[in-house]
Chain A
Amino acid sequence: GNSVTQMEGPVTLSEEAFLTINCTYTATGYPSLFWYVQYPGEGLQLLLKATKADDKGSNKGFEATYRKETTSFHLEKGSVQVSDSAVYFCALTRAGNTPLVFGKGTRLSVIA
């Protein structure tokens, strides 16, 4: 079946440090890949997405590239801010309105 594995947290970084959160997936065919972010006590917000191999999703300084050869979609940001502190979820879905399959989430804490 389809599954997503992401690095366990928590991850603690100093402000302006480089961020990488690893995500790998198992799926048949060509899933669409997503990163969602959840701030404390809130629902999930879409951060970025990619729908085919070699696509790069980007938003708010975050980037992730769809790597089919390594079945990965790692999240990166060059310089994190305290406001980036949140839980980040990697997810995939197949075509159309099919449910998302989520990783377990990675909590990021950025300290000033």
Chain B
Amino acid sequence: DGGITQSPKYLFRKEGQNVTLSCEQNLNHDAMYWYRQDPGQGLRLIYYSQIVNDFQKGDIAEGYSVSREKKESFPLTVTSAQKNPTAFYLCASSKAQGTSGSKQFFGPGTRLTVL
């Protein structure tokens, strides 16, 4: 089945530790995205990548880093510099279709809790 997988579903981290969230897609999509979801704030964009080996900062990139070495993978690292990392993290991907905005497909999410 084609889709987006995120792992792990639940992740616990001690303060001061870096942690990496996995996101893989087999939809042959060019673009991938990371969003953060907090209660009452909707989804906010962390980073996105429209092509392999290139990525752009979103609205809340501070304290996060990404890489895009392969088309199907877009891991997100939450560093110790992120002051409030406890949240639900959602990965998405899309494929450009003509001139209209492309719909995005979402993974099931990873819930990160800092202890």
Contact = CB atoms under 8 A, between A and B. Distances in A.
Interface of A: 31-32, 34, 36, 41-46, 49, 51-52, 89, 92-100, 102-105
A32 B31 CA distance: 17
B98 to A, nearest CB: 8
Q: How large is the interface on B (under 10, 10 to 19, 20 to 34, 35 or more residues)?
A: 20 to 34
Contact of A92 (B48, B99, B101): B101
A43 B107 contact: yes
Contacts of B109: 41-43
Nearest to A48: B103
Nearest to A93: B101
Nearest to B46: A99
B66 to A, nearest CB: 13
B43 A43 contact: no
B50 interface: yes
Contact of A52 (B30, B44, B90, B100): B100
Contact of B90 (A43, A98, A99): A43
Interface of B: 4, 6, 30-31, 33, 35, 40-45, 48, 50, 58, 90, 92, 94-96, 99-109
B100 A104 contact: no
The 7 closest A-B pairs by CB, nearest first: A32-B101, A93-B101, A97-B31, A43-B106, A51-B100, A104-B42, A44-B106
B42 A96 contact: no
B100 A105 contact: no
Given A32-B101, A42-B109, A95-B101, 15 more contacts: A43-B109, A44-B90, A44-B106, A49-B103, A51-B100, A52-B100, A93-B104, A97-B31, A99-B45, A99-B58, A100-B45, A102-B42, A102-B43, A104-B41, A104-B42
Contacts of A105: 42
Contact of B30 (A34, A95, A97): A97
Given A43-B109, A95-B101, A97-B31, A103 B48 contact: no
